[in-house]
Amino acid sequence: MSVVESVLGHQLFEQFDAFLFDADGVLWLGGKPINGAIDYLRYLVDKGKKVFIITNNSTKTIADYAAKCKKLGFDMIQPEQIISPAKVVAHLLSMHKSDLPVYLVGSAGLQRELMQEGIESFGVGPDPVQNYTNSDFIHEIDVSRPVRAVVVSYDVHINYVKIMKAINYIEQPGVKFIATNEDATFPGPNPKVRIPGAGTNVMAVQYPAGKEPVVIGKPARPIFDYICEKFGVVPERTIMIGDRCDTDIKFGRDHGMFTMLVGTGINSMDDVKQFERQNRPDLIPHYFTHSLKHLLDTM
Amino acid sequence: MSVVESVLGHQLFEQFDAFLFDADGVLWLGGKPINGAIDYLRYLVDKGKKVFIITNNSTKTIADYAAKCKKLGFDMIQPEQIISPAKVVAHLLSMHKSDLPVYLVGSAGLQRELMQEGIESFGVGPDPVQNYTNSDFIHEIDVSRPVRAVVVSYDVHINYVKIMKAINYIEQPGVKFIATNEDATFPGPNPKVRIPGAGTNVMAVQYPAGKEPVVIGKPARPIFDYICEKFGVVPERTIMIGDRCDTDIKFGRDHGMFTMLVGTGINSMDDVKQFERQNRPDLIPHYFTHSLKHLLDTM
């Protein structure tokens, strides 16, 4: 018998002012909205609740995300209700005035998000090893262009050159080392295929660098601080609703919020029971629901 | 005052039957022999001691290494006295008969070493991400060719495609996951440049795979077992001589051998004193010498 409570929609509605939703596996799967998600979010927004989408995916800009929301039917969500590590990295860097660019191991979307806060970056796209060596080794790498920070995120073009540039920049005095998030893998259209996530790149840089980055995304603190400061969210009156225990539930638990696992994505109650046996209270949600549709039906 | 003893050449000579040497920083630096190293090794061999070179560098074949030894003046060293993880991986795989190849994240030298034990492999060389996707994501990867193992080592061509292939192979039943070594960086001609080592690739695969490899090289056990079985080395009568505490000294300490740090490479006695303050007895050598020349002079 698990300690996790099933919960009805009206109980949540009364208990909380702010509802934070993970996206993939909660609101949509790939390109399709999950049954009930659109209507549940519309209900909460119409009744004056604070509603946010908190994603770790930093390959898109917030504008790209807002367009996706609109296209899928989540037209009640405004761009400022969507928060990603890309947004928070850009915000944090913009608070420290500097003309120096960022060396970015990341996507063009992350680069555009940084640019919207006036932060220049370089490094996006392929950087073929063949341009640097024909042998097994690169003994020198050009890190003469000054940078303010190294930002590591998801980057399909990760390779030896980028890792080597990143670690040699991180060695320079005053250069910050920032990671958008540490997700090991992410879900794709074929559930049997493992797809390396941003955390793969983060580990590939932090291990030879011998230094740990400031991590922004769930479950780390910076994205939580951002929400609190920007939107006056009160943790005790806030619930984080997600499909992954190691990011979403841990994020809520670590920062004093309530948490709910929804059974339409990665983790199930079987996983939760295993975390209970492993004595991992940080991974155990306060509540469980099979779907957002069930919550709506029990308002 | 450190617990580490300085030692004279004749003391070591009387106490030990077998002398294991790391190569870079102990016998040579880059392409040049370190003063006294050739003469000291020749003395030991001439007097009937067992002498081995134990390297973690698996980018060369043993034959390549033997040629390098001969060229630098270490002509008293025969190929069978040189042991690398490449050699031990090949040996371990050859003990389990299989017609299946290995998926290799490694160099052409490692591939040749495996081939000498009759083990086929594929994956060496560039595998450009552009052949798989024009977008930020690869959602499918071809791992239909059956393999017996994934071997991860130093590979300047490491990239997203190779990481993704490796983790999806590792998911398949019965596929072994082997790492030659976990060195984070290695020394190059410019001491200010950090060069990512094989461990970078190992971390980049093990993190999204969610599984740890069998590690072969120093300080792990398999390379020690190999020496004991193959050469009848007795740990209590053996000394490991190296310039790195986290590989060489830990290797000796973890497996019951005596250890000596030599001050011509990476770590100094200042580092050792820090390890003493950190209470890391596994990183503290039994003996210290400034150079092999000093040992020779005190025979």
d(CA A141, CA A126): 16
Q: Are residues A292 and A240 in the same domain?
A: yes
| pLDDT tens by residue, A178-191 | 999 999 998 788 88
B282 is catalytic: no
Task: Give which of A58, A203, A244 to mutate to test B binding, by max B Cβ within 10 Å.
Answer: A203
CATH code for the domain in which residue B117 is found: 3.40.50.1000
A24 is catalytic: yes
Which of A189, A214, A239 lies at the terminal end of a domain, its last residue?
A214
d(CA A181, CA A124): 18
Domain assignment present for B89: no
Between strands A28-29 and A32-33, the pairing is antiparallel
pLDDT value for B6: 86
Neighbours of B207 (CB within 10 A): 23
Percent of chain A whose predicted confidence (pLDDT) is above 90? 92
User: Is residue A49 predicted with pLDDT exceeding 70?
Assistant: yes
d(CA A180, CA B160): 18
Domain assignment present for A157: yes
Task: Verify whether the Cβ–Cβ distance B137 to A164 is below 8 Å.
Answer: no
Q: Are residues B180 and B289 in the same domain?
A: no
CA end-to-end span of chain B, whole Å?
Answer: 26
Q: Are residues A234 and A286 in the same domain?
A: yes
| Domain ranges, residue A286 | 9-56+219-297
Report pTM: 0.95
ipTM: 0.95
Domain assignment present for A91: no
Sign of CA dihedral B250, B252, B253, B259: negative
- Contact in structure between A3 and A253 (CB atoms under 8 Å): no
DSSP A104-169: EES-HHHHHHHHHTT--EE--S---GGGT-SSS--------S--SEEEE---TT-BHHHHHHHHHH
Would you write out chain B's pLDDT as a tens digit for each of its 299 residues?
A: 578 888 889 999 999 999 999 999 999 987 899 999 999 999 999 999 999 999 999 999 999 999 999 999 999 999 999 999 999 999 999 998 899 999 999 999 999 999 999 999 999 999 999 999 999 999 999 999 999 999 999 999 999 999 999 999 999 999 999 999 999 998 788 889 999 999 999 999 999 999 999 999 999 999 999 999 999 999 999 999 999 999 999 999 999 999 999 999 989 999 999 999 999 999 999 999 999 999 999 98
User: Is residue A296 predicted with pLDDT exceeding 70?
Assistant: yes
Q: Which among A155, A164, A185 has the least Cβ separation from residue B195?
A: A164
Which of A161, A180, A214 lies at the terminal end of a domain, its last residue?
A214
What's the mean pLDDT when you consider all of chain A?
A: 95
Q: Are residues A125 and A202 in the same domain?
A: yes
| Chain A positions in Cβ-Cβ contact with residue B108 (cut-off 8 Å) | 136
Q: Which among B185, B190, B208 has the least Cβ separation from residue A197?
A: B208
DSSP H helical ranges for chain A: 9-15, 37-46, 62-72, 85-94, 108-116, 160-170, 198-209, 222-231, 250-254, 269-277, 292-297
Q: Are residues A156 and A258 in the same domain?
A: no
| Chain B positions in Cβ-Cβ contact with residue A195 (cut-off 8 Å) | 137-139, 164
| pLDDT tens by residue, A120-145 | 999 999 999 999 999 999 999 999 99
Task: Verify whether the Cβ–Cβ distance B160 to A164 is below 8 Å.
Answer: no
Identify the CA nearest to B57 among candidates B84, B88, B25, B89: B84
Q: Are residues B108 and B196 in the same domain?
A: yes
Task: Verify whether the Cβ–Cβ distance B136 to A156 is below 8 Å.
Answer: yes
Q: Which among A184, A188, A195 has the least Cβ separation from residue B210?
A: A184
d(CA A53, CA A56): 10
Sign of CA dihedral B57, B59, B62, B63: negative
d(CA B90, CA A289): 51
| Chain A positions in Cβ-Cβ contact with residue B197 (cut-off 8 Å) | 208
* Element (DSSP H or E) covering residue B219: none
Q: Are residues A40 and A110 in the same domain?
A: no
Within 13 Å of residue B85, how many CA atoms lie on the same side as its CB?
Answer: 27
* Element (DSSP H or E) covering residue A78: none
A127 labelled binding-site residue: no
Task: Verify whether the Cβ–Cβ distance B200 to A171 is below 8 Å.
Answer: no
pLDDT value for A3: 80
Task: Give which of B131, B186, B195 to mutate to test A binding, by max A Cβ within 10 Å.
Answer: B195
Work out the average pLDDT over A24-45.
94
Count of the separate structural domains present in chain B: 2
| Active-site annotation holder among A24, A183, A246, A248 | A24
Domain assignment present for A90: no
pLDDT value for A1: 54
Distance from CA of A150 to the nearest CA of B (A): 15
- Nearest-CA residue of chain B relative to A162? B159
Q: Are residues B202 and B245 in the same domain?
A: no
| Chain B positions in Cβ-Cβ contact with residue A199 (cut-off 8 Å) | 207-208
d(CA A98, CA A60): 24
Q: Are residues A153 and A209 in the same domain?
A: yes
Which of A179, A195, A214 lies at the terminal end of a domain, its last residue?
A214
| Active-site annotation holder among B17, B22, B225, B246 | B22
Domain assignment present for B292: yes
Domain assignment present for B91: no
Domain assignment present for A89: no
Q: Which among B160, B190, B210 has the least Cβ separation from residue A158?
A: B160
Q: Are residues A130 and A186 in the same domain?
A: yes
Q: Are residues A210 and A100 in the same domain?
A: yes
Domain assignment present for A127: yes
User: Is residue A110 predicted with pLDDT exceeding 90?
Assistant: yes
pLDDT value for A5: 87
User: The tokens of B96 are what?
Assistant: 């389990």
Q: Are residues B104 and B209 in the same domain?
A: yes
